[in-house]
Chain A
Amino acid sequence: MTALDAGPTEAPRTFFFNDPVIRGIVYQIVVGLILVSFIAWIIGNTAANLAAQNKTTGFDFLWKTAGFDISFSLLPWSRASTYWQAFLVGITNTLLVAFIGIVVATILGFTIGIARLSSNFIISSLATVYVETIRNIPLLLQLFFWYFAVLKTMPAVRDSYELPLDSFINQRGIFFPQPLPDAQFGFVWIGLAVAIVGVLVLRRWARKRLEATGQRFPVFLTSLAVLLVLPALVWLISGAQVAFDPPVLGRFNFEGGVQLPPEFLALLFGLSIYTASFIAETVRGGIQAVNHGQTEAAQSLGLKEGDRLRLVIVPQAMRVIVPPLTSQYLNLTKNSSLGAAIGYPELVNVFSGTALNQTGRAIECIALTMLVYLILSLLTSAIMNWYNARVTLVER
């Protein structure tokens, strides 16, 4: 009886190191110390090495004149520009090729992904062959192929291939007329903006009406009409003119027009075609992930083929597709750094290549380059988290 009143007995004494809490703390201290001393060792070595090479550090070099040429730039660039401007040129060139590449790869990838699921044997086999071939060949090799084997073997300027619409293709890339809208053309843009707002309002109204009365409104056709007709009307009324500045064969090269250099084209082709094969697999997986019961349920509700896809299958497939799709977009952006290998002046080429070689500020240049990619990646994952939170299945 007395034993029952003895109260809680003391925990059995064990060696203190067997206590998981203490053990965890000790492990963490050890790992932390090792890491800190490793970093300190690296910093010490680096400082000693830099001192031995008489190199200075710091970001002051960003404001010095760069003095090199960049073959392709959206921003104004001259030899007198600073390294900071070179940095910005690199970023814009990276973003330009990444943006266009993403658009092309998405269209191509979705087409091929859907084609792989086609019941048509030839179409699905073609799509399978595309995916299995492109996915298994290194991107760099594909870039070399497009650049050295295709675009660089185009004829010289004098013997350019003529394309429709006053465009030309030759060793130096594609040349096409540059549209030069006059001042009145601004009204057309305003008209387009108004049309877009109108379409958004229309969609909302149509959905409210559908929910309230069950009556459908042909939203898609009306939107298309509004988007086309309104700007066209404004164009006619305002009398805006668009002049074209076609490329004309000069003494050494084409003059006027817009030139897309072969480096840009090769990178764009390579990136879009390569990434499209991955996007196609993502899309296929996403559509297959939607349970077949969903299709049957939609059919039993009497939904039409189009409605079934648009209202039942695609929204559920998108929930599976979008996260890997964004990581493909991010991969495409990171892979655009391979442009350095074929001389497209993107961030790595301009900044971790030329600028680094000229200034010798290795740590600063590489750190800034990595920082840009880091920010892009963090931004993407932030948007992704927001999207995921929005579309997550609300479960009971």
Chain B
Amino acid sequence: MTDTGYVRSELVAAKPAPNPTSGAVVWAKKNLFATPMDALLTAFGVLFLLWVVPPFFNFVLGHAVGPMGTVEECRAITAGACWAYVYNEMEFFIYGFYDIPQLWRPNIVFALGALLFVPLLIPKLPFKRINALLFLFVYPVVAYFLLAGGVFGLSEMPTEKWGGLLVTLIISVVGITLAFPLGIVLALGRQSTLPVIKTICVTFIELIRSVPLITILFMASIMLPLFMPQGMTVDKLLRALVGVTLFTSAYLAEVVRGGLQAIPRGQYEAAASLGLGYWQRMYFIILPQALKHVIPGIVNSFIALFKDTSLVYIVGMKDLLEAVKTKNDSALEWQSANTATTGYLFAAIVFWAFCFSMSRYSMFMERRLNTGHKR
């Protein structure tokens, strides 16, 4: 009776620990050395980084001449980037030839713009409608009169004197604001059942999309004055704006058309059966859905527009890139082996920062507006 039981008299030997599923070693094994080929690629990647990163770091920071440096330091053989040059020419890069005592005017415009624009980007803040109306209709008028002057005792400042980042921002913001509604109208026109309107829109879109922006700017620069009645001159900035806006609107129209085509027919029919008119149907039912579908495409067009503003040198405007190039070529007092490279590097950083933040913001909006279409 007592022998039937079994009592273990000694402890079981400990099993080896299970393979770790997390930690640095596991991660490296999985992501860096999964196969011999992978290990080879990793080695290649590390070698490439060792080859590229230290010289780049030394150029940008390590051996660079800081903002307070002198041109003599920049001319030393071992010197890297010459940030002193960028620092000293910053005013030109941002404002162009704008009179220096009057710089408070563009500064106010920048500050006002940021004050009105940033709340628009943050979804949680209230008063979106008033904010948008102020930004789209009141702000441009205020900004124009502040910059151009000629009223309220402000000295007159012709657009030829505007330049640098100021012009880049003006052209891109105005271009985006004007091209967006125009692009939507063109897209709707292309979908229209009225043959005349459809033909006009298709011709316009296809014509603009098939030629490079540079030829359109040439056209705006050379032919726009010919098109106007005699004695009427077209401002250079306006020429650039017309060219850029027409160009972007054609691309936006195609993006929006993609969104319109993605809306199921049932939505159109449902809207019509509610007795809504054409514009009501579009405004309340179709466009909100269609535009949501194509946010990435719209933002991509805006990024493209922002980058394309660098082409307005064709009409003779000095945008950021052209301002940098002008100084690179002409600032003899700053001439050194790395001056030009530093200038272009600065412009690249500015452009990159704007474009990259736009693309990140679009990803954020996409996630926010995603109401379950994607699985």
How far does the alpha carbon of A290 sit from the alpha carbon of B16 in the complex, in Å? Answer: 42
The reply to whether B41 and A122 contact each other, CB–CB distance below 8 Å, is yes
Q: Using Cβ atoms and an 8 Å threshold, which residues of chain A touch B348? A: 137, 141, 145
A50 at the interface (CB under 8 A from B): yes
The reply to whether A141 and B351 contact each other, CB–CB distance below 8 Å, is yes
The reply to whether A31 and B196 contact each other, CB–CB distance below 8 Å, is yes
Nearest B residue to A29, CB-CB: B196
How far does the alpha carbon of A35 sit from the alpha carbon of B203 in the complex, in Å? Answer: 13
A residues 1-55 near B (Cβ < 8 Å) are 24, 27-28, 31-32, 35, 42, 45-46, 48-50, 52
How far does the alpha carbon of A144 sit from the alpha carbon of B341 in the complex, in Å? Answer: 9
Task: Name the distance in Å between A361's Cβ and chain B's nearest Cβ.
Answer: 11
Q: Using Cβ atoms and an 8 Å threshold, which residues of chain A touch B303? A: 136
The reply to whether A348 and B229 contact each other, CB–CB distance below 8 Å, is no
The reply to whether B210 and A374 contact each other, CB–CB distance below 8 Å, is yes
How far does the alpha carbon of A119 sit from the alpha carbon of B27 in the complex, in Å? Answer: 11
Q: Using Cβ atoms and an 8 Å threshold, which residues of chain A touch B325? A: 144, 148
Which of A118, A144, A337, A341 has the most CB atoms of chain B within a 10 A radius of its CB? A144
Which one of A52, A121, A340, A362 contacts B32 once the chains associate, using CB atoms below 8 Å? A121
Task: Name the distance in Å between A196's Cβ and chain B's nearest Cβ.
Answer: 32
The reply to whether B344 and A27 contact each other, CB–CB distance below 8 Å, is no
A289 at the interface (CB under 8 A from B): no
How far does the alpha carbon of A126 sit from the alpha carbon of B45 in the complex, in Å? Answer: 8
Q: Using Cβ atoms and an 8 Å threshold, which residues of chain A touch B41? A: 118, 120, 122-123
Interface string of B188-218 (1 = CB under 8 A from A): 0000011111001000000101111111001
Which of B194, B195, B223, B310 has the most CB atoms of chain A within a 10 A radius of its CB? B310
Q: Using Cβ atoms and an 8 Å threshold, which residues of chain B touch A46? A: 223, 226-227
How far does the alpha carbon of A377 sit from the alpha carbon of B206 in the complex, in Å? Answer: 9
The reply to whether B222 and A136 contact each other, CB–CB distance below 8 Å, is no
The reply to whether B355 and A348 contact each other, CB–CB distance below 8 Å, is no
Which one of A35, A135, A370 contacts B200 once the chains associate, using CB atoms below 8 Å? A35
Which one of A27, A366, A376 contacts B218 once the chains associate, using CB atoms below 8 Å? A366
The reply to whether B197 and A27 contact each other, CB–CB distance below 8 Å, is yes
How far does the alpha carbon of A155 sit from the alpha carbon of B340 in the complex, in Å? Answer: 16
Q: Using Cβ atoms and an 8 Å threshold, which residues of chain A touch B222? A: 356, 362, 366
A369 at the interface (CB under 8 A from B): yes
Q: Using Cβ atoms and an 8 Å threshold, which residues of chain A touch B57? A: none
Number of interface residues of A (CB under 8 A): 53
Q: Using Cβ atoms and an 8 Å threshold, which residues of chain A touch B34? A: 119-120
A238 at the interface (CB under 8 A from B): no
Q: Using Cβ atoms and an 8 Å threshold, which residues of chain B touch A378? A: 210
Interface string of A118-143 (1 = CB under 8 A from B): 11111100100000110111111100
Q: Interface residues of A: mostly helix, strand, loop or mixed? A: helix
How far does the alpha carbon of A73 sit from the alpha carbon of B1 in the complex, in Å? Answer: 109
CB within 8 Å: A-B pair count = 147
Q: A138-B310, A148-B340, A366-B222 known; A52 and B215 CB under 8 Å? A: no
A110 at the interface (CB under 8 A from B): no
Task: Name the distance in Å between A55's Cβ and chain B's nearest Cβ.
Answer: 9
Q: Using Cβ atoms and an 8 Å threshold, which residues of chain A touch B197? A: 27-28, 31
B281 at the interface (CB under 8 A from A): no
Q: Using Cβ atoms and an 8 Å threshold, which residues of chain A touch B355? A: 135-137
Nearest A residue to B193, CB-CB: A24
The reply to whether B210 and A148 contact each other, CB–CB distance below 8 Å, is no
How far does the alpha carbon of A122 sit from the alpha carbon of B48 in the complex, in Å? Answer: 10
A260 at the interface (CB under 8 A from B): no
Which one of A120, A341, A362, A373 contacts B211 once the chains associate, using CB atoms below 8 Å? A373
Q: Using Cβ atoms and an 8 Å threshold, which residues of chain B touch A376? A: 210
Which one of B32, B195, B207, B340 contacts A374 once the chains associate, using CB atoms below 8 Å? B207
Interface string of B164-201 (1 = CB under 8 A from A): 00000000000000000000000000000111110010
Q: Using Cβ atoms and an 8 Å threshold, which residues of chain A touch B215? A: 337, 348, 352, 366, 369-370, 373
The reply to whether A32 and B196 contact each other, CB–CB distance below 8 Å, is yes
The reply to whether A123 and B210 contact each other, CB–CB distance below 8 Å, is no
The reply to whether B218 and A352 contact each other, CB–CB distance below 8 Å, is yes
A184 at the interface (CB under 8 A from B): no
How far does the alpha carbon of A373 sit from the alpha carbon of B207 in the complex, in Å? Answer: 10
Which one of B218, B308, B351 contacts A137 once the chains associate, using CB atoms below 8 Å? B351
B286 at the interface (CB under 8 A from A): no
How far does the alpha carbon of A335 sit from the alpha carbon of B374 in the complex, in Å? Answer: 34
A334 at the interface (CB under 8 A from B): yes
Task: Name the distance in Å between A359's Cβ and chain B's nearest Cβ.
Answer: 12
A233 at the interface (CB under 8 A from B): no
How far does the alpha carbon of A13 sit from the alpha carbon of B340 in the complex, in Å? Answer: 76
How far does the alpha carbon of A138 sit from the alpha carbon of B347 in the complex, in Å? Answer: 10
Nearest A residue to B360, CB-CB: A132
A288 at the interface (CB under 8 A from B): no
How far does the alpha carbon of A50 sit from the alpha carbon of B222 in the complex, in Å? Answer: 12
Which one of A35, A138, A335 contacts B351 once the chains associate, using CB atoms below 8 Å? A138
B residues 279-331 near A (Cβ < 8 Å) are 303, 307-308, 310-311, 313, 321, 325, 328
Q: Using Cβ atoms and an 8 Å threshold, which residues of chain A touch B321? A: 138, 140-141, 144
B359 at the interface (CB under 8 A from A): yes
A298 at the interface (CB under 8 A from B): no
Which one of A31, A141, A373 contacts B212 once the chains associate, using CB atoms below 8 Å? A373
B residues 328-365 near A (Cβ < 8 Å) are 328, 337, 340-341, 344, 347-348, 351-352, 355-356, 359
How far does the alpha carbon of A49 sit from the alpha carbon of B231 in the complex, in Å? Answer: 9
Instruction: List 18 additional A-B contacts (Cβ < 8 Å) besides A148-B328, A348-B214, A362-B223.
Output: A27-B194, A28-B195, A31-B200, A42-B227, A46-B227, A119-B31, A138-B307, A138-B351, A141-B310, A145-B344, A153-B340, A335-B212, A337-B215, A352-B218, A362-B226, A366-B219, A374-B210, A374-B211
For the complex of A and B, the 7 pairs showing the least CB-CB separation, nearest first, are A377-B210, A122-B45, A136-B355, A28-B196, A334-B212, A138-B307, A121-B31
**A contact set with B: CB distance below 8 Å:** 24, 27-28, 31-32, 35, 42, 45-46, 48-50, 52, 118-123, 126, 132-133, 135-141, 144-145, 148-149, 153, 334-335, 337-338, 340-341, 348, 352, 356, 362-363, 366, 369-370, 373-374, 376-378
Can you show 27 pairs from A to B with CB atoms below 8 A apart? A24-B193, A28-B194, A31-B200, A45-B227, A49-B225, A49-B230, A122-B32, A122-B46, A122-B49, A123-B41, A123-B42, A133-B352, A135-B355, A137-B307, A137-B348, A137-B352, A145-B348, A148-B340, A149-B344, A335-B212, A337-B212, A352-B215, A362-B222, A363-B223, A366-B222, A373-B210, A377-B210
